[in-house]
Chains A and B, each alone.
Chain A
Amino acid sequence: EIVLTQSPDFQSVTPKEKVTITCRASQSIGGNLHWYQQKPDQSPKILIRYASQSFSGVPSRFSGSGSGTDFTLTINGLEAEDAATYYCHQSNNLPHTFGQGTKLEIK
């Protein structure tokens, strides 16, 4: 099973700040890494697919990069509505696995 490790687990940030969340895979997964946003009491929503492709309708401040084992989700110009937990997910191998999540708090 591929283990995904996100960092940090929690971050408190101010609006307009740039945020970087990393996801490291226990073995190479090529570009089969996706990012989701989950707000309290809501279903997860896809933000970035295949490491760097933005899903339709996702604000341009969200971007992704990386390949192999190291991946990054960047939020440029954080907004109050971005308070949520962010998860990475690998689809390279079964079982699909998720990172443990990164909770963003807006100051």
Chain B
Amino acid sequence: EVQLVDSGGNLVQPGGSLRLSCAASGFTVSSNYMSWVRQAPGKGLEWVSVFYRSGDTYYADSVKGRFIISRDNSKNTVYLHMNSLRAEDTAVYYCARGGGNSDFDYWGQGTLVTVSS
């Protein structure tokens, strides 16, 4: 059974850093495209970043230069390293399988990041 478990969300001050984790089971992350998608409170979905099977990575303009997506094949886990956090980064962050020219077919349960002083 395919499962994604998101963790790492927390309350952080503006300018701070946080690392989110997405632990996968039932498939191998290195053989798939893996993405992060976020949802601000009461708002719609926003794609954040993708890790291609090739190792290439891409980011939304809103997070480029501040966020880094990475992958640990030995742990079958994908990470989102978030730096220089801003109030507007406050959202539930979902890990999702997909992000090439495909849909997101499986999603984690989400983890809440709140950026506030």
Question: Within 8 Å CB of A91, what residues of B?
Answer: 98-103
Q: Is B21's CB within 8 Å of the partner chain A?
A: no
- In the assembled complex, the Cα of A66 lies from the Cα of B89 at a distance in Å of 34
Which residues from chain B contact A92 at a C-beta distance below 8 Å?
101
B105 within 8 A of A: yes
Contacts of B104 in A (CB 8 A): 34, 36, 44, 46, 89
A43–B110 touching, CB < 8 Å: yes
Please tell me if A45 contacts chain B, counting CB pairs below 8 Å: yes
Q: Which stretch in B24-32, B41-49, B76-84 binds the other chain?
A: B41-49
**Mask for A64-102, Cβ within 8 A of B = 1, else 0?**
000000000000000000000001010110111111110
Q: Does B107 contact A (CB under 8 A)?
A: yes
Report A-chain residues with C-beta under 8 Å of the C-beta of B60. 95
Q: A89-B103, A91-B101 are in contact. Are A97 and B47 (CB under 8 A)?
A: yes
**Would you give the shortest CB distance from A52 to chain B, in whole angstroms?**
12
CB distance from A84 to the nearest CB of B (A): 13
* Residues from 41 to 81 in B contacting A, C-beta threshold 8 Å: 44-47, 50, 58, 60-61
Task: Tell whether A10 is near chain B: CB-to-CB under 8 Å.
Answer: no
Least CB separation from B110: chain A residue:
A43
Q: Does the CB pair A94–B58 fall under 8 Å?
A: yes
Q: Which of A49, A50, A94, A98 contacts B46 (CB 8 A)?
A: A98
Q: Verify A98–B110 contact, CB threshold 8 A.
A: no
State A81–B46 Cα separation when bound (angstroms): 25
**6 interchain residue pairs of minimum CB distance:** A34-B103, A96-B47, A43-B107, A49-B103, A98-B45, A101-B44
Please report B residues at the A interface, Cβ cutoff 8 Å: 35, 44-47, 50, 58, 60-61, 94, 98-105, 107-110
Q: Give 26 CB contacts A-B under 8 Å.
A: A32-B101, A34-B103, A34-B104, A43-B107, A43-B110, A44-B45, A44-B94, A44-B107, A45-B107, A49-B102, A49-B105, A87-B45, A89-B45, A89-B103, A91-B98, A91-B102, A94-B50, A95-B47, A95-B60, A96-B50, A96-B99, A98-B44, A98-B45, A98-B46, A100-B44, A101-B44
